[in-house]
Chains A and B, each alone.
Chain A
Amino acid sequence: MKILVSVKRVIDYNVKVRVKADQSSVDLTNVKMSMNPFCEIAVEEAIRLKEKGVADEVVVVTVGSKACQETLRTALALGADRAIQVEAEDGLDSLSVAKLLAAVAKEENADLVVMGKQSIDSDNNQTGQMLAALLDYPQATFASEVVIENGEAQVTRETDAGLQTLAVTLPAVITTDLRLNEPRFASLPNIMKAKRKPLEVKTVSDLGVEVGCNVSIVSVSAPAERAAGIKVGSVAELVEKLKNEAKVIS
C-alpha cells in the first residue's frame, strides 16, 4: 500500500517568537525553521510501516513556498521515497491546505494519510480532521499506536481520560501524537542520497483547487508579560507567603 505523509515547515520549537511592532504577525525573518515535530513523527511512522512490509511506498507532501523543499528533502533523507511540493504562499489557511492535500491524496490514490496532530506555530489541530472529512475517510487523531491489518487500522488514541482504541477502515487519515514513536536522525549518506530522490512541484491550479477563506487576522499581539516574583529562602517562608500574602492556601 501507499502512504501519503504531509509535512509542514515551521519555526523551530526552541525559538522564542517575537511579535512584529505593527501587530500584523510574528516576525519570521532570519529565524531558524525546521520540520514541525509532529510531522517528523508522522514520517517516522510511515517509514516504520514500510520497514515492516506493510507499505510499499511513502510519498511526502507539503504545501508552501520553495523554501519548504528543504523540509521535503529532510523527509526524503529519513526514508520517504519521493516528494511533492504544492507551490503556494506560506501560511495558507488550514481548510485550503486540506483541500490541496485532498486533491493530492486522490491523485496519488493513497491508502493511508499520516500527518501530525498539530503544527506548533498556528496550534490549530485541524488539518487532518478536515482532510478526512473532504475525502470521506475515517479519522484516527492523536494516535499513540497504529496496527494495520486486514484492510483496517487499529489505532490507540490519547484522550483526556486516558487511552481509546478505535478500528478504522482504510483508506483513512491518522494524526500523530508525540508518544507514537521516537523519530530517527538522518545520516549524512542518506542526506546525500535524498538530493537525488524525485521531488515534483505542483501548482494550485494543477490541482484544480480554489484557495482562500473568509477569515482575516485583525491583529497579532504579545501576551501580557508575567513579572518574575521573588525567591524565598525556605519552605517555611514559602508556606507563610502562600497563606498570608497570596492567600491561595489556608
Chain B
Amino acid sequence: MPVKIDETLTVECETGNYHTFCPISCVSWLYQKIEDSFFLVVGTKTCGYFLQNALGVMIFAEPRYAMAELEEGDISAQLNDYEGLKRLCIRIRKDRDPSVIIWIGTCTTEIIKMDLEGMAPKLEWEIGIPILVARANGLDYAFTQGEDTVLAAMAHRCPEPEFPVRERKEILQKFFAFPSKKKEELAEYVNHSSLVLFGSLPSNVASQLNLELRRQSIKVSGWLPAQRYTDLPSLGDGVYVCGVNPFLSRTATTLIRREKCELIGAPFPIGPDGTRAWIEKICSVFGVEAQGLEEREERIWESLKDYLDLVRGKSVFFMGDNLLEVSLARFLIRCGMIVHEIGIPYMDKRYQAAELALLRDTCIKMCVPIPRIVEKPDNSNQIRRIRELQPDLAITGMAHANPLEARGISTKWSVEFTFAQIHGFANARDVLELVTRPLRRQKNLEDLGRTTLVRKNNKF
C-alpha cells in the first residue's frame, strides 16, 4: 500500500520540562578516557550527590575526579576563590600528579559569577599544570553536551601542525613498510590533508574506526580527545575534522572558528547505514573512491537478521535525553521499526544536517512518514502521548522506566546507549542487543500474563 510521505522535516519545541542527567556526568567517562587527567567539579552538595549516586561503583575505585564543594563562605564571597582552588589543586598535584586538571563549572559558579576562566591561566602558571575550564552546567546544557564543553575547551590546547615533518615521516614509513602478500594488511595511505576525528570513544572503538578508514587508504592523524592529554592531535589551517557523535556542535564550531579547521559534515557512524555514509562522506572529501562498502554493509545487515526479525514492524518512542536520538531513530527505521516521536534536548540543525538528510532519505526508502522531532520535550505531555500511542518500546530515562514498565510499556534506559559501544560496523549488533533486550524479555515472560502491575484506580 503506498504511503503518502511528507518530506519536510520539522522540529517542534515544547516546554523543556524533561528529565535528563546533569552535564557534569561527562566526567565519568572522560576521566577514564583521558588517562592522565583530573576532573575537579566546582559546585555544591547537589552536584556531589548526583555524581555519587549516578556513578555508583566508580566512586570507590579511587576516581580521578572530585568535588570542590562550595560552602556558605564561598557563596557569599567571604572566602577567596583563588586561594581555595589553589589549595585544592596543589593537593591534587601532590596526590595524583595529573598532566592536566579540568575544572568543571556548574550552575552555582555561573550564578555567583566565579571567574574560572580568569583564574585558570594564573593558577596554571603558578602550579605548573595545565588547567582547562569547561562550563558544563544544567542552566545551559543537557547530559552528553557536557563532553562537548570539555572537548571545546581542549581544542584550544591542541598544538599547531608541523606539515613538512609529518609528510617526511610518512614517506619514510612507506619505504620501510613491512612487505606482505595481503594487500589489506599493507594499506597504503593516499596523500591527503591530515584528518582529525573528534568525540570520546572507548579506545578499541576508536581503533575500529581508524581501521575502517585505513581500508579506504585514509589515515587518521589523531583524535580529540586522545588517550592521554599529552597526545593531543595537531590542529590548524587545512586540517580536516569530522565528528563521531551528534552532540558535539560546540566543539565543531570551535574547531572551525578558532582552529581554522575544515569540518566534514557527515552522518554519524552509528548503525551500518550510518557508518557507511560516514566513511563515504570522508572519502568523497578526500577524492577517494570508497571500496567494497556496499558489500560490507550488506554483510552486516545479513548478520543482524535474527534481531531484525524481532524489531520489524515494532514501534518505538524516544523521550529524549542524550542527543543520540536522531541517529538511533534513523538506524531503527532502517531496521524496519516505526518511530513515533524523536524527543531531543537540543537540535543543532547545521551540525546534524547530514544526519537529518539521511533520516529523511531513510524514511522515504522505508516508506514511512518522517517522525516528529520534539526539541526540549515536556515529559508529562510525552507520557500522555505514550499512553495514547501504546508504543512497543519507549526509550527513556530511569525516572520513567519502572513506572512505564508497571503500566505494560516496555522500556529501554537511554543512558545505556551512551555507555555501550554503538559506533562502526562491528558494533551495530550491540545497538540491537540493547533495543531488543526488553522485547526478548517480554517474550520470555509472555505466558505469565499480568503485564500491568498497578492498581486500577491509579492514574496512568
A binds B: no
Q: Which A positions have Cβ atoms within 8 angstroms of B? A: none
Q: Which B positions have Cβ atoms within 8 angstroms of A? A: none
